[in-house]
A = this chain, B = another copy of it.
Amino acid sequence: MPLTLEDIARIAGTSRSTVSRVINGDQNVSEATRTKVMDVISKVNFQPNLAARGLAAGHTGILGLVIPMGVSAIFADPFFPLLIQGVSGQCNSRDVSVMLWLAEPEFERRTINNVLYNGLIDGVIIASMLTDDSLVDALRNKSLPFVLVGRHPTDEHIHYVDSDNRSGAYQAVLHMVRMGRKRIACINGPANMIAGMDRARGYRDALKERGISLQPELVVEADFTDPGGYAAMKQLMQYRPDAVFAASDTMAIGAVRAIHELGLRVPEDIAVVGFDDIPMASRITPSLTTVRQPISRIGAIAADTLIDLIENPSDRPQHIILPTELVIRESCGAIHPVRS
């Protein structure tokens, strides 16, 4: 049987209320009693029961993290692991716990709703990134604080943190234009994902700014996976691109494989630029030029934003866009590849 406040109080020779006060850092406790109580607590290694605390106080110090599992191979991409890592790390240092839901599409309506409104979490981070997400819609009408990873396209009142997908893609494509590429293709993410929309816009903006007309056949949509990038590249080959911007490194790696299989060279025949800067990007041959986005930091900031929001519900909507960075390696042709 774990000890309770009452036990601690008895041992320390005080009352349950006072013990509660020292645990919660209430100022109205004399230094003497505080010390005495602290001693007992650390001596017996006392842990207050969080369920009871949650019931009594109305908050639990737990935050939910919901990750959609819509795409089957979601964990083949390091995006979500890194995001989880960022959220978890920040929560650790802020002393809050995280409850994780990998949302299977079939469970969405039933379980997710069940789980979010069960009085156990103080707020929730949704790694949604879909342009229309039923969970987000449900949340908008409730009082549970939440922040999105990935900006919301329409509702200005929703808190979110995202990276600057448009600008990242814009820089990447502009770079290829500057390198003299004329027929720059785009392997984009799904159109119903906001990151996909934004990166496609960056691609279009860069072309437009340089007076290059958009060739619809040079833009193909894939699903952020390696096989998806591979298939998309194969499809693009008939239109003779001399460069390709892939909206994720995983797709870019698939694309490079497709190019190599057809006996062409990267970057000599086709330059390739990816997005994310996953660890693999610097290891493949040729090493991959890519747009680095601070995934783990996005997670950390989302957690911070949510915790602040819970403590201060009247906050103005937070719209945090983190900068991206173009990492130039061999695959774009700007650096002469060192071949062994």
Would you call B340 and A263 a contact (CB within 8 A)? yes
Stoichiometry, as copies per complex, reads: 2
Give per-residue flags for A48-72: 1 if the beta carbon is below 8 A from chain B beta carbons, else 0: 1111101100001010010001000
Q: Are A89 and B102 touching (Cβ within 8 A)?
A: yes
Say yes or no: A55 contacts B45, CB within 8 Å.
no
Contacts A92-B107, A279-B73; A118 near B85 (Cβ below 8 A): no
Q: Does A158 contact B (CB under 8 A)?
A: no
Is the C-beta of A88 less than 8 angstroms from some C-beta in chain B? yes
Give the chain B neighbours of A254 by CB distance below 8 A: 283
Question: A11 at interface (Cβ–Cβ under 8 A)?
Answer: no
Chain B residues near A95 (CB-CB < 8 A): 111
Residue-by-residue, is A261-288 near B (CB-CB < 8 Å gives 1, otherwise 0)? 1110000000000000001100101000
Interface residues on chain A, size class: 35 or more
29 CB contacts below 8 A, A to B, read A47-B114, A49-B55, A49-B120, A50-B51, A50-B118, A50-B120, A51-B51, A51-B60, A51-B119, A52-B55, A62-B99, A62-B120, A65-B100, A69-B85, A75-B85, A80-B81, A84-B84, A84-B100, A85-B102, A88-B100, A89-B104, A92-B107, A95-B111, A97-B99, A226-B280, A257-B283, A257-B285, A260-B285, A261-B340
Nearest-neighbor residue (CB-CB) of A120 within chain B = B50
Flag if A102 contacts B119 (CB, 8 Å). Answer: no
CA distance A113 to B45 in the complex (A): 9
CB of B75 within 8 A of CB of A82, answer yes
Any B CB within 8 A of the CB of A98 = yes
B75 pairs with A76, CB closer than 8 A? no
Of B48, B99, B118, B257, the contact of A100 (CB 8 Å cutoff): B99
Residue of B nearest to A106 (CB): B92
Q: A147 to B273: give the CA distance in the assembly, Å.
A: 44
* A62 CB to nearest B CB, Å: 7
Inter-chain CA distance A52–B76, complex, in Å, is: 38
